[in-house]
Chain A
Amino acid sequence: MRFPYQVICLVLLAVFGWLPAAPRAQGAGTPSTPGVPKTDQQKSGEAIFQQNCTLCHVFSGDKKRFNVQSSTELIGLYKRPTVTDEAVRTLILVGMPGRMPSFRYTLAAREIDDLIAYLKIR
Chain B
Amino acid sequence: MSRFRLCVLGARSAPKRYCQPAKASGISRAKPLAGLCLVAGWLVAGLPVESQSQRSIGGVVTSSDGKPLEGAAVSTRAEGSTMTTSVWTNQQGEYSFPPLPDGRYRMWAQAVRFTLTRAEQTLAVGKEVRQNFTLPPYADVWRQLDDIEWFESLPDDTPEDRGMPGRMKRVLHYNCGTCHNSGYLFAKRFSAADWELIHTHMSNLTSRADPPYDDEGITNKARETEYTDEAPGGGTFASPMLDAGGKPLGAQKRLMEFYKKDIIAYLTRVRGPEAYPMAWRTLPRPTGDAANIVVTEYDVPEGGTLNRLDPKTGRMTQFTLGRDGGTARNDTPAYYLNEYRNGSDWSRGIRNQFQEIGQHDLKVGRDGYVYLPPGIGRDLDPQGNVWFSGAGGGVKFDVKAETFTVYPLPKGWEGFENGKGVDSQGRFWAATAAGAYRLDPRTGQYTLFPSVTPLGRPYGLTVDREDKAWFAQIAVDKIGYVDGRTGDVGEVTLPPIADEPMTDEDRKTERGWTWNQPIYGKGPRRLQADPRGDYVWASSYFGGLLSRIHIRTKQLTEYKLPGPYRFGNPYEPVVDKNGIVWVSMSNADLLARFDPRTERFTFYPIPTRGHNARNIDVDNTPAIPEVWVPYQAGGKVARVQFRTNPAR
Contacts and interface: CB of A to CB of B under 8 A. Distances in A.
Interface string A9-21: 1111111111111
Which size bracket describes the interface of B in this complex?
35 or more
A9 B348 CA distance: 26
B339 A19 contact: no
Interface in B345-371: 348-349, 351-358, 360
Interface string B31-67: 1011110000000000000000000000000000000
A101 interface: yes
B24 A21 contact: yes
Interface stretch (B160-168, B316-324, B538-546): B316-324
Contact of B184 (A16, A51, A65): A51
Contact of B322 (A6, A21, A63): A21
Interface in B209-232: 210-211, 220, 223, 226
B201 interface: yes
Contact of B34 (A34, A38, A50): A38
A52 B185 CA distance: 9
A55 B197 CA distance: 12
Given A2-B13, A101-B194, A106 B21 contact: no
Interface SS, A side: loop
Interface stretch (B90-98, B388-396, B499-507, B562-570): B388-396
Contacts of A80: none
A5 B181 CA distance: 13
Interface stretch (B72-80, B412-420, B518-526): B412-420
A79 B320 CA distance: 37
A22 B29 contact: yes
A66 B250 CA distance: 14
A8 B228 CA distance: 18
A51 B303 CA distance: 22
B452 interface: no
B211 to A, nearest CB: 7
B337 to A, nearest CB: 9
A27 B20 CA distance: 12
Contacts of B323: 20-23
Contacts of B648: none
B27 A21 contact: yes
Contacts of B198: 55, 101
Interchain residue pairs A-B with the least CB separation, the first 5: A21-B26, A15-B415, A17-B375, A17-B390, A18-B390
Given A33-B31, A47-B341, 9 more contacts: A20-B391, A21-B322, A22-B25, A22-B28, A28-B31, A46-B341, A51-B184, A66-B204, A105-B272
